[in-house]
């Protein structure tokens, strides 16, 4: 039996429900029997607007909240606009959590990112590696905003006794991903690049960096399942890593994407571009010891993501 029997008829607010993560969580909650899952587009509710955020909570009175709203992007976006990534994410987090505290939300899940960990953290990265070393410089502003979010969850627990928790997913991908030239992460960027090359008949594709960094990927529907699992089974101050527990090199990833897309040209590597953190594999023993494990294989997930890209673009 779950530790927390969540009321399926209660109002459940998913902040960021139109994004890849939030939409997957909303789908999973509705498939799990929740009948009042709410959310607003950023056009209708700007979560950096403190007054509007508090008014939304006062009107809708959610009992449960998942905070998945965030300004996100890949290395290029994070490195180019660090002030925006810091400011916008801090504003969203503080406004949503302050409003949730004022309106008595007992169960809140804050969604972080694995970039919170030091650049040279031990591998696989345990939860207690947080704040033990220097961050990766290309996304330190975003990471510090997410660390602030974890700290706010812990502070509300300490000061107000609320059963709030945080989850730190590895690199996410899947339906609803961002495939834009400027804002995409590595896997959707590879899907876009190889599909465009296939369609145009380009003889070569050039990827950033050396291809040697190791990365772990988690299909977003697996994360959505983990989010509800944690809300029903976990109550502690420590954030929880959520990942597949397996990694591969960016070069191996590119080869898999090219194969699944059907691109037969040559892949080149621009080693003048940054690699980022050399390895980033999460230690997922905590969540696995509770009984949750990722289900979707990387090949299966990439194939679904390619189908999603082709259906949308």
Q: Is 173 a catalytic residue?
A: no
User: What letter would DSSP give residue 35?
Assistant: S
**73 annotated as belonging to a binding site for a ligand:** no
**242 annotated as belonging to a binding site for a ligand:** no
CA pair distance 259, 265, nearest whole angstrom: 10
Q: Outline where the chain has alpha helix (H).
A: 20-31, 50-60, 75-80, 82-102, 140-160, 186-200, 220-233, 250-261, 285-290, 298-312
**160 annotated as belonging to a binding site for a ligand:** no
Annotated active-site residue in 64, 81, 142, 234: 142
**215 annotated as belonging to a binding site for a ligand:** yes
CA pair distance 23, 280, nearest whole angstrom: 25
Q: Is 5 helix (H, G, I), strand (E, B) or coil?
A: coil
**139 annotated as belonging to a binding site for a ligand:** no
**20 annotated as belonging to a binding site for a ligand:** yes
**168 annotated as belonging to a binding site for a ligand:** no
**185 annotated as belonging to a binding site for a ligand:** yes
Residue 176: which of 307, 37, 13, 33 has the closest Cα? 307
**146 annotated as belonging to a binding site for a ligand:** yes
**192 annotated as belonging to a binding site for a ligand:** no
Omega before 184 within 30 of 0, i.e. cis:
no
**22 annotated as belonging to a binding site for a ligand:** yes
Q: What is the CA radius of gyration of the chain?
A: 19
Cα 66 to Cα 24, 75, 106, 233, distances in angstroms? 12, 25, 12, 15
Binding site, residues?
16-22, 111-114, 146, 169-172, 185, 193, 208, 215, 275
- Point out the residues that are catalytic: 142
Binding site for substrate, residues?
193, 208, 215, 275
Binding site for NADP(+), residues?
16-22, 111-114, 146, 169-172, 185
């Amino acid at each position: 039996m779950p530790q927390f029997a969540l009321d399926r008829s209660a109002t459940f607010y998913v902040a960021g429900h139109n994004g890849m993560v939030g939409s997957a969580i909303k789908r999973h909650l509705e498939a799990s029997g929740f009948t009042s899952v709410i959310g607003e587009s950023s056009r209708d509710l700007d979560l950096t607007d403190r007054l509007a955020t508090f008014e939304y909570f006062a009107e809708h009175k959610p009992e449960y909240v998942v905070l998945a709203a965030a300004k996100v992007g890949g290395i290029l976006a994070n490195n180019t606009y660090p002030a925006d990534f810091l400011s916008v994410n801090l504003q969203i987090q503080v406004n949503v959590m302050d409003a949730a505290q004022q309106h008595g939300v007992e169960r809140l899940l804050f969604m972080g990112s694995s970039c919170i960990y030091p650049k040279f953290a031990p591998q696989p990265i345990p939860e207690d590696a947080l704040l033990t070393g220097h961050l990766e410089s290309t996304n330190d502003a975003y990471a510090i905003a997410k660390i602030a979010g974890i700290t706010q969850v812990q502070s509300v627990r300490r000061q107000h006794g609320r059963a709030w928790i945080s989850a730190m997913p590895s690199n996410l991908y899947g339906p609803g991903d961002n495939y834009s030239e400027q804002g995409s992460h590595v896997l959707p960027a590879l899907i876009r690049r190889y599909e465009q090359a296939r369609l145009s008949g380009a003889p070569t594709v050039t990827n950033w960096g050396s291809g040697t960094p190791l990365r772990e990927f988690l299909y977003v529907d697996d994360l959505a399942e983990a989010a509800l699992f944690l809300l029903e089974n976990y109550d502690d101050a420590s954030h929880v890593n959520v990942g597949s527990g397996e990694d591969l090199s960016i070069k191996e990833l590119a080869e898999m994407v090219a194969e699944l897309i059907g691109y037969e040209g040559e892949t080149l590597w621009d080693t003048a571009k940054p690699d980022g953190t050399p390895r980033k594999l999460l230690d997922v023993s905590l969540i696995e010891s509770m009984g949750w494990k990722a289900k979707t294989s990387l090949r299966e997930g990439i194939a679904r993501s390619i189908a999603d890209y082709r259906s949308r673009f």
